[in-house]
């Protein structure tokens, strides 16, 4: 039986791979992270390319910036595959260069100077050729991705202002004139200035305006300088003294309020401008982010190139096709198209003086901003810097750190995180000499795995083939084993490899520099996890999160199920409506809830104030942000428990209730002594699994708190490990961390299962 299944599976696999192999055209895959408006241009370009090159098929796939990074790394570094071309901002080059192919010193992206002639490169502006560690790894089709100050000319006119601010002082004064309570209800409904406070990318211009630099010459972070403090103080000044910016502002709030004419100025990137130009509420104006008088410096946003890199495992015919595609997508024709339709700044020298650029006021102004911009650092260390600055910025905005404290905090954290990223990397010249230890551990791991599997299979084989004559027990077993095997094959087939993989990685020093040359280092990653204080506080939060969520899921679910299990006109409709939180994709409803928790525009505060309760800054304080995430998750999860309970209640026949009624039982007594014992066999596994799922549920907390905001204080274990380890490619540490999560859960559920007797058989 088992053999047949395996054979069928193999045949299926084979037929699928044959189907895929039958292609005459050379396929070139391109992964990109273009915004929706850009993708339409890309699509048109692809059609043209394919019409001209009928033997090449260009397959494009959009992913988010982070998904591209991790996806490409997984494909290229871990399996030697991946798309031929990968498009993205230039800082991804740093994270790709550092990862090496299996059994070679080659990076996962190819040096382009070997592939094209110098004449070809000469056509590009210097910033368009992304040099890193002595090679050109990326060729840009545009420059920019930079912030600038966008203003609404209409609102400026209404306030009697004729031009945008040029200095910070003017920004503050103009801002005051533009901040208004238009309907006179005591609440501000037009802000002078907005931007996304939650991301340090928007803090950089102020930081550089006061003379700050992210790194010194030796690539050490310098984030606690006078400039860092002054930049924070400026934000405080805007919020508390001049009151020209709202108390709370993330990307969506900033974007929507400017787009709907509720903010006069916004600091935002070139990707957003087309949308504002098209908005009926906005009369579009663009200018440089102002100058700081004290230093005489313009606030300089990061400027980066965006472009294409080639997978270094591509060879032969496919490589030729890939080169052709890259040449086409960076050509004058392609760049002009993008420039015309999405206002990107081209990277070709020849287009700099082209009428498309010259005669466009937006592009002209954009170029003026680029002039005073700074090139985005490419090194992977920048990721650690972002992760260090983010909580500092958010704590300062929430008022829990002073400017000085925030500056010191980000410096300390950046240093720590950079050290952690490289923990386990061998120094120059150090030889890889741990092969024996490694082999021993791997052998032990595999042996252990095989032993467990062997025990399991031995039992099965005994049961299946060595039947003792007429033994009822064994005949029984055969039937049961046959019934259970197909499901077991699917489940364990999927789980076993990832599990042992993780186990081995958790004993290793794997990080981004040694994905194909890591060593086994024993339990040191585990020790590191346990020695960090933050682990215990996050564990405590995770337990609170799990207990509160599961408690409300179950009580609300069972309660509603009991109510809806009686004869009640309209109950079918109610059931369906109560199911909606489960039915609608959680991604959008979680963000809707986030919107409802917004301090100034959200429905929750509106209800609170109408009830005479004080409004809360839900999302900018750690405790309330955590509560907001829990409320959202309770909302999402109760329908599931309700449905389970509804099903479980069907196993109780009316006679039992009638008998109980005859004995004079009250409603509570009936619930306690009839309902609960009867639904228990179904509910206990559901609750146990519900607990496990909730414990590891990263999505909701991530979406509602926008990745642990404020200041990485609203994390549960999984979101913490994602932020602190996975994000910084600390594979060994992340694997050890998840093994620990796993062990905690195993201990928990085995205890519950023992106590509740759910594995017992009734017969």
Sites for another protein among residues 221-260 (CB under 8 A): 251-253, 256, 259-260
- Cα 655-660-663 angle, rounded to 5 deg: 130
Distance of CA 665 to the CA centre of its chain: 53
Contacting range for another protein; rule: CB under 8 A; set: 108-116, 226-234, 393-401, 692-700: 692-700
Q: Tell how strand 297-298 and strand 345-346 pair up.
A: unpaired
Of the ranges 70-78, 289-297, 361-369, 384-392, which one interacts with another protein (CB under 8 A)? 70-78
Q: Give the residue, chosen from 295, 331, 524, 749, that forms a contact with another protein under the rule CB under 8 A.
A: 749
Of positions 95, 190, 208, 262, contacts another protein by CB under 8 A: 262
**Contact region for another protein (CB under 8 A) — 65-73, 353-361, 441-449, 533-541?**
65-73
Please report how the helices 381-398 and 226-236 are oriented relative to each other, as an axis angle in degrees rounded to 10. 40
Report the distance separating Cα 204 and Cα 376, nearest Å: 10
* Cα 77 to Cα 87: distance, rounded to the nearest angstrom: 17
The residue from 415, 426, 670, 673 that contacts another protein (CB under 8 A) is 670
Distance CA 746, CA 735 (A): 16
**176 vs 749 by CB, closer to another protein:** 749
Contact 683, 554 (CB under 8 A): yes
Residue 95 in the binding site for another protein (CB under 8 A): no
Among 10, 13, 12, 3, CA closest to 485 = 3
Would strands 129-132 and 56-62 be described as parallel, antiparallel, or unpaired?
Answer: unpaired
Give, as ranges, the residues between 154 and 173 that touch another protein (CB under 8 A): none
Question: Residues 484, 487, 491, 496: is their CA dihedral positive or negative?
Answer: positive
End-to-end distance of the chain based on CA atoms, in angstroms? 28
Q: Which of residues 412-431 bind another protein (CB under 8 A)?
A: none
**Distance of closest approach, residue 612 Cβ to another protein, in angstroms:** 19
CA-CA distance, 391 to 406, in Å (whole number)? 9
Q: Within positions 473 to 512, which residues make up the interface with another protein, using CB under 8 A? A: 473, 476-477, 479-481, 483-484, 486-488, 490-495, 497-499, 501-502
| Residue 743, token pair as written in the block | 């062990």
**Residues in 72-91 that interact with another protein by CB under 8 A:** 74-75, 78-79, 81, 83
Q: Which is nearer to another protein, 213 or 696 (CB)?
A: 696
419 vs 480 by CB, closer to another protein: 480
Nearer to another protein, 224 or 309 (CB): 309
Q: Site map for another protein, 13-32, x if CB under 8 A?
A: x--xx--x--------x---
Query: Quick check: bond before 710 cis, omega within 30?
Result: yes
The full DSSP string for 695-761 is HT--HHHHHHTTTTTTTT-S--HHHHHHHHTGGGT-HHHHHHHHHHHHHHHHHHHHHHHHHHTTTS-
Return the residues of window 625-664 that contact another protein according to CB under 8 A.
635, 639, 643-644, 646-655, 657-658, 661
Q: How far is CA 79 from the centre of its chain?
A: 22
CB of 661 to another protein, least distance (A): 7
Q: Does 751 bind another protein (CB under 8 A)?
A: no
Q: Does 588 bind another protein (CB under 8 A)?
A: yes
Instruction: Name which of residues 697 to 726 contact another protein (CB under 8 A).
Output: 698, 717-718, 721-722, 726
The 8 Å CB, 24+ separation contacts for 717-724 are: 717/538, 717/539, 717/542, 717/741, 720/534, 720/538, 722/698, 723/387, 724/387
Give yes or no for residue 574 binding another protein (CB under 8 A): yes
Which residue's CB is nearer to another protein, number 17 or number 359?
17
**Alpha carbon distance 355, 283 (integer Å):** 24
Asked whether position 8 contacts another protein by CB under 8 A, the answer is no
d(CA 601, CA 605): 8
**Complex with another protein: residue 104 or 650, whichever CB lies closer:** 650
* Distance (Å, whole) CA 113 – CA 101: 19
684 binds another protein, rule: CB under 8 A: yes
452-471 residues in contact with another protein (CB under 8 A) are 456, 459-460, 462-463
CA distance 468 to 474: 7
**Residue 292: which residues within 8 A CB-CB, separation 6 or more?**
167, 168, 209, 210, 298, 299
With CB under 8 A as the contact rule, which of the stretches 212-220, 349-357, 518-526, 754-762 interacts with another protein? 754-762
Q: What is the DSSP code (8-state) at residue 577?
A: H
Interface segment toward another protein; rule CB under 8 A; list 317-325, 356-364, 392-400, 573-581: 573-581
Restricting to residues 106-135, name those near another protein by CB under 8 A. none
Please select the residue that binds another protein; options are 53, 222, 279, 402, rule is CB under 8 A: 279
Near another protein in 287-316, by CB under 8 A: none
| DSSP 3-state of 180 | strand
Neighbours of 277 (CB within 10 A): 14
129 or 306: whose CB is closer to another protein? Answer: 306
* 406: nearest Cα among 249, 220, 621, 203: 203
User: Applying CB under 8 A, does 666 fall inside the site for another protein?
Assistant: no
Residue for token pair 């935002």 = 268
Tokens (6 digits) for 249: 């502002």
Least CB distance to another protein at residue 420 (A): 17
Residue spans of beta strands (DSSP E) within 365-476: 374-375
Q: Which two tokens stand for residue 222?
A: 């310098």
When asked if residue 205 is in the footprint of another protein (CB under 8 A), the reply is no
394 binds another protein, rule: CB under 8 A: no
Among 67, 332, 333, 663, binds another protein (CB under 8 A): 67
Kindly state the smallest distance separating residue 189's Cβ from another protein, in Å: 7
Give the shortest CB-433-to-another protein separation in angstroms: 26
Q: In the complex with another protein, which residue's Cβ is closer, 375 or 744?
A: 744
Q: Are 83 and 109 contacting, i.e. CB atoms less than 8 angstroms apart?
A: no
Interface of this chain with another protein, residues 601 to 620, rule: CB under 8 A: 601, 603, 606
* CB of residue 757 to another protein, shortest distance in Å: 10
How many chain residues touch another protein (CB under 8 A)?
153
Selection from 27, 16, 53 nearest residue 328 by Cα: 53
Q: Is the CB of 305 or the CB of 741 nearer to another protein?
A: 741
Q: How far is the CB of 463 from another protein (least distance, A)?
A: 5
Q: Contact with another protein (CB under 8 A): which of 444, 580, 623, 659?
A: 580
> Which residues within the stretch 510-569 sit at the binding site for another protein (CB under 8 A)?
556, 560, 563-568
Per CB under 8 A, the list member of 1, 61, 450, 544 interacting with another protein is 61
Q: What sections of 466-532 are H helices per DSSP?
A: 472-506, 524-531
DSSP summary character for residue 468: P
CB of 290 to another protein, least distance (A): 23
State the residue for tokens 């109510």.
563
**Residue 423, Cβ density class (10 Å: 0-12 exposed, 13-18 middle, ≥19 buried):** middle
Which of 498, 664 has the CB closer to another protein?
498
* Among 116, 120, 121, 693, interactor with another protein by CB under 8 A: 693
- Residue 361 as a binder of another protein (CB under 8 A): the answer is no
Indicate the residue among 230 and 553 with the shorter CB distance to another protein. 553
Nearer to another protein, 379 or 675 (CB): 675
Q: Rank residues 287 and 502 by Cβ distance to another protein and give the closer one.
A: 502
Nearer to another protein, 395 or 513 (CB): 513
Give burial (CB, 10 Å; 0-12/13-18/19+) of 3: exposed
């Amino acid at each position: 039986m088992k053999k047949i299944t395996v054979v069928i599976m193999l045949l299926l696999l084979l037929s699928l791979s044959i189907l895929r192999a039958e292609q005459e055209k050379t396929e070139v895959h391109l992964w990109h992270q273009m915004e929706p408006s850009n993708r339409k241009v890309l699509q048109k370009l692809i059609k043209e390319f394919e019409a001209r090159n009928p033997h090449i098929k260009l397959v494009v796939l959009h992913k988010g910036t982070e998904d591209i990074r991790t996806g490409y790394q997984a494909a290229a570094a871990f399996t030697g595959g991946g798309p031929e071309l990968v498009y993205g901002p230039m800082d991804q080059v740093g994270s790709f260069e550092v990862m090496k192919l299996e059994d070679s010193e080659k990076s996962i992206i190819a040096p382009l100077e070997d592939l094209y002639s110098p004449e070809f490169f000469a056509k590009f502006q210097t910033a368009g050729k992304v040099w890193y560690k002595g090679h050109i790894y990326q060729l840009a089709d545009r420059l920019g991705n930079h912030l600038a100050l966008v203003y609404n000319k209409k609102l400026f006119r209404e306030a009697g202002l004729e031009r945008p601010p040029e200095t910070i002082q003017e920004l503050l004064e103009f801002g005051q004139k533009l901040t208004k309570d238009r309907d006179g209800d005591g609440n501000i409904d037009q802000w002078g200035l907005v931007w996304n406070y939650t991301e340090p990318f928007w803090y950089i211009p102020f930081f550089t305006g006061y003379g700050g630099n992210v790194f010194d010459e030796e690539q050490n972070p310098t984030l606690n300088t006078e400039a860092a403090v002054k930049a924070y103080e400026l934000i405080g000044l805007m919020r508390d003294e001049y009151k020209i910016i709202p108390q709370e502002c993330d990307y969506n709030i900033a974007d929507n309020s400017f787009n709907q004419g509720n903010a006069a100025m916004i600091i935002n990137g070139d990707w957003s401008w087309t949308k504002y130009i098209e908005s009926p509420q906005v009369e579009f104006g663009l200018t440089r982010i102002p100058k700081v008088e004290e230093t005489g410096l313009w606030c300089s946003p990061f400027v980066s190139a965006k472009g294409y890199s080639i997978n270094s495992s591509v060879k032969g015919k496919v490589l030729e096709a890939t080169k052709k595609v890259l040449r086409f997508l960076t050509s004058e024709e392609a760049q002009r198209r993008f420039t015309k339709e999405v206002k990107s700044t081209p990277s070709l020298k020849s287009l700099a003086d082209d009428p498309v650029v010259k005669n466009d006021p937006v592009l002209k102004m954009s170029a003026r901003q680029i002039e005073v911009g700074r090139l985005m650092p490419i090194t992977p260390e920048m990721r650690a810097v972002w992760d260090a600055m983010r909580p500092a910025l958010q704590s300062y905005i929430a008022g829990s750190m002073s400017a000085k404290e925030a500056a010191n905090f980000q410096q300390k954290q950046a240093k720590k995180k950079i050290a952690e990223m490289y923990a386990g990397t061998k120094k120059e010249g150090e030889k890889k000499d741990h092969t024996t230890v490694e082999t021993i551990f791997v052998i032990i791991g595999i042996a252990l795995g095989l032993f467990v599997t062997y025990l399991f299979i031995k039992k099965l084989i005994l049961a299946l083939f060595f039947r003792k004559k007429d033994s009822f027990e064994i005949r029984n077993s055969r039937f049961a084993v046959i019934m259970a095997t197909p499901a077991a094959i699917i489940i364990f087939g999927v789980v076993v490899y990832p599990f042992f993989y993780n186990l081995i990685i958790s004993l290793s020093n794997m990080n981004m520099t040694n994905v194909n040359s890591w060593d086994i280092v024993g339990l040191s990653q585990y020790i590191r996890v346990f020695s960090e204080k933050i682990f215990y506080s996050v564990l405590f939060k995770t337990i609170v999160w799990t207990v509160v969520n599961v408690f409300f899921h179950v009580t609300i679910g069972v309660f509603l199920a009991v109510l809806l299990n009686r004869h009640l006109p309209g109950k079918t409709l109610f059931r369906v409506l109560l199911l909606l939180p489960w039915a609608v994709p959680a991604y959008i409803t979680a963000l809707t809830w986030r919107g409802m928790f917004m301090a100034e525009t959200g429905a929750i505060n509106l209800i609170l104030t109408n009830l005479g309760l004080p409004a809360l800054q839900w999302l900018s304080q750690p405790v309330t942000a955590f509560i907001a995430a829990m409320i959202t998750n309770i909302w999402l999860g109760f329908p599931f428990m309700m449905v389970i309970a509804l099903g479980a209640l069907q196993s109780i026949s009316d006679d039992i209730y009638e008998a109980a009624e005859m004995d004079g039982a009250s409603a509570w007594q009936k619930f306690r002594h009839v309902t609960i014992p009867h639904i228990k066999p179904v509910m206990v596994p559901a609750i146990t699994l519900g607990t496990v799922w909730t414990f590891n549920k990263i999505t909701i907390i991530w979406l509602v708190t926008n990745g642990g905001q404020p200041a990485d204080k609203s994390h549960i274990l999984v979101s913490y490990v994602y932020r602190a380890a996975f994000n910084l490619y600390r594979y060994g540490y992340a694997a050890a961390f998840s093994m620990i999560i796993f062990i905690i859960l195993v201990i928990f559920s085995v205890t519950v299962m023992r106590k509740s007797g759910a594995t017992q058989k009734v017969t």
